[in-house]
Amino acid sequence: MITTDFVPGSPCWIDLGAPDVAAATDFYTSVFGWDFQSYDPEGGQYGLFRLNGKAVGAIGPLTEEGARSAWMIYLHTGDVEATAESVERLGGTVRVAPLDADGMGRLAQFTDPQGGQFAVWQPQSNKGLEAVDEAGSLCWTELYTTDAAAAKEFYGSLFGWQFQDMELPGGGGAYGLITPAGLNPDRMHGGLMQLPAEHLTATGGRPYWHPVFASADCDATVARLRQKGGTVQMGPEDAEGVGRLAVCLDPAGADFVVLTPSEAAA
């Protein structure tokens, strides 16, 4: 499970790059019941999503030419410069070099050797997400990759992640469960799955990370999503031992999963 007791390599922040921040804010506040708080006292576009007063993510305008709308997952690090050096040594790319975020922390953004984009956060005054693993907040992270073995080698070397493969029903291959270095399986925070490039339509065949948001009622959340112009790629459907889930796109095409965990998974 994801917690706010962040350890190296664990998910600690998410933000959405949107082509139309106002439209995306309207969508997510309607679907998940979030509130939006601008960082700019004059109502600027970058700001926080809050649920019951607690930060559950952020949103801002797309800043890279040609970039698609997507959620960025940030992983905790104690030394952003050292992590950037390790990314390059392991064959990844530094997309955004380490920089300060107004005293809240330091961040950098990377691309793994297969093309999956992710980021790291070294906290200062802002440790990260304030609510996780509850309805309306981040409860899991997921990587779709074209080469699971290579992804495990890269992220395992970078963060010390531990992997446990779970066979998918119907001969669907293996799903790699991710646990932070040195922790027990009850701290699993994500998974990775190998898919052929032609199945990764959201990115034109490139691997990508996406968030999973917990919901008290997956079907009700999906109904609100559809009313606000979102679409569903799969589900809602029941996954044994996991819960009821749906793979979704917001109106701008940013992907995420909605999950009502089963009692066994909770």
Q: Which residues contact 62 (CB under 8 A, 6 or more apart)?
A: 17, 18, 19, 69
At residue 163, the 3 state secondary structure works out as strand
**Residue type at position 92:** G
* pLDDT above 70 for 89: yes
pLDDT of residue 51: 97
pLDDT of residue 212: 98
pLDDT category at 168 given cuts 50, 70, 90 is confident
pLDDT of residue 63: 76
Query: What is the number of other CB atoms lying within 10 angstroms of the CB of residue 71?
Result: 22
pLDDT of residue 246: 97
pLDDT of residue 162: 97
Residue 155: name the closest of 203, 199, 192, 202 by CA. Answer: 192
Share of the chain above pLDDT 70, in %: 96
Which region, left, alpha or beta, applies to residue 187 given φ > 0 means left and ψ of -120 to 50 means alpha?
A: alpha
Q: Which residues contact 214 (CB under 8 A, 6 or more apart)?
A: 133, 134, 135, 136, 137, 138, 139, 259, 260, 261
Fold of the domain spanning 11-123: 2,3-Dihydroxybiphenyl 1,2-Dioxygenase; domain 1 (3.10.180)
pLDDT, mean of residues 148-158: 98
Domain positions in the chain are: 11-123, 138-261
pLDDT of residue 118: 98
* pLDDT above 70 for 264: no
98 or 170: which leads in pLDDT: 98
pLDDT of residue 173: 81
Which region, left, alpha or beta, applies to residue 254 given φ > 0 means left and ψ of -120 to 50 means alpha?
A: beta
Within this chain, domains 11-123 and 138-261 share the same CATH topology: yes
pLDDT of residue 43: 54
pLDDT of residue 74: 98
Q: What is the mean pLDDT of the chain?
A: 93
Q: How many residues does the chain have?
A: 266
Contact 208, 182 (CB under 8 A): no
pLDDT digits (tens, 9 = 90+) for 7-17: 999 999 999 99
pLDDT, mean of residues 57-82: 92
Between 42-46, 148-152, 191-195, 241-245, the lowest mean confidence (pLDDT) is in 42-46
Between 125-134, 157-166, 167-176, 254-263, the lowest mean confidence (pLDDT) is in 167-176
Share of the chain above pLDDT 90, in %: 83
Q: Which residues contact 243 (CB under 8 A, 6 or more apart)?
A: 218, 259, 260, 261, 262, 265
Give the whole-angstrom CA distance, residue 179 versus residue 250.
Answer: 29
Taking the CA atoms of residue 79, residue 83, residue 86 and residue 90 in that order, the dihedral angle to the nearest 10 degrees is 160
Residue ranges with strand state E in 112-189: 117-123, 138-145, 162-167, 174-179
pLDDT digits (tens, 9 = 90+) for 47-69: 999 999 999 999 999 877 778 99
* pLDDT above 90 for 240: no
Class of the CATH-defined domain 138-261:
alpha beta
